[in-house]
């Protein structure tokens, strides 16, 4: 490109070899890429670190005594230590816990799968024995199956029963419906 002012081409014989100018350009490109690439590599890996960290599997947290759980879903609150980078905090979570027909205890997350509002058992007088979301009237069955509006069933907390207490872990997609 800027070769016109260097000198007249000494040899007019066309060869397939790499020209001096090409060599210089490649070296320039290579060293430039090295100088930009290496620092960028470290920095980008630093920035995307949260993507590459494995999700911490939530430990089971003691929530309520088994004897308190009934066929009718009840809301229980519990605290879990959330480690958010340098910020550690006990965050309160809510779970709707009930027994199914065969007496197995299960727990549902109150977060509506439509737009993330909070659902409530018997939240509307018009629909009894259903979870109801006040935002857009999404409804779910007792098992969390989505009836209207919401695209997916309510998330479920894995449940563990130990020494007469219900322990809950972190939410996962509903496995009941």
- Residues at the site binding another protein, with contacts judged by CB under 8 A: 1-2, 4-6, 21, 24-25, 27-28, 31-32, 34-35, 38-40, 42-43, 45-47, 49, 52, 85-87
CB of 26 to another protein, least distance (A): 9
Q: Do residues 156 and 144 touch, judged by C-beta distance below 8 A? A: yes
- The least distance separating another protein from the CB of residue 158, rounded to whole angstroms, comes to 27
We find the least distance from the C-beta atom of residue 165 to another protein, in angstroms, to be 17
45/136 with CB nearer another protein: 45
22 versus 71: smaller Cβ distance to another protein: 22
Which residue blocks in 48-154 are alpha helix, DSSP H? Answer: 49-52
Identity of the residue, 1 or 13, whose beta carbon is nearer to another protein in the bound complex: 1
Residues 6+ apart with CB under 8 A from 91: 79, 80, 81, 82
Strand segments, DSSP code E, in 49-133 are: 61-65, 74-84, 87-99, 105-108, 120-121, 131-132
To another protein, the closest distance from the beta carbon of 40 in angstroms equals 7
Number of helices and strands in the chain (H, E): 2, 11
Which among 80, 117, 73, 113 is positioned nearest to 95, based on CA atoms?
73
Q: Give the nearer residue to another protein in terms of CB position, either 85 or 103.
A: 85
Closest contact distance (angstroms) between CB of 31 and another protein is 4
Task: Give 88-106 as a DSSP string.
Answer: EEEEEEEEEEEE-TT--EE
Residue with Cβ nearer another protein (14 or 46)? 46
């Amino acid at each position: 490109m800027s070769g016109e002012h260097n000198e007249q081409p000494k040899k007019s014989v066309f060869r397939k070899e790499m020209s001096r100018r090409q060599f210089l350009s490649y070296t320039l490109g290579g060293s430039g890429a090295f100088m930009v690439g290496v620092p960028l590599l470290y920095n980008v890996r630093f920035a995307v670190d949260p993507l590459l960290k494995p999700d911490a599997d939530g430990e089971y947290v003691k929530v309520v005594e088994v004897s308190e759980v009934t066929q009718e879903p009840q809301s229980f609150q519990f605290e879990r230590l959330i480690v958010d980078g340098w910020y550690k905090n006990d965050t309160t979570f809510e779970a709707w816990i009930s027994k199914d027909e065969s007496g197995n205890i299960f727990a549902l997350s109150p977060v509506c799968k439509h737009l993330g509002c909070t659902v409530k058992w018997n939240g509307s007088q018009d629909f009894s024995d259903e979870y109801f979301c006040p935002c857009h009237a999404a409804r779910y069955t007792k098992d969390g199956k989505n009836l209207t509006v919401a695209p997916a069933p309510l998330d479920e907390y894995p449940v563990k029963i130990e020494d007469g207490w219900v322990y809950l872990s972190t939410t996962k997609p509903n496995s009941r419906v």
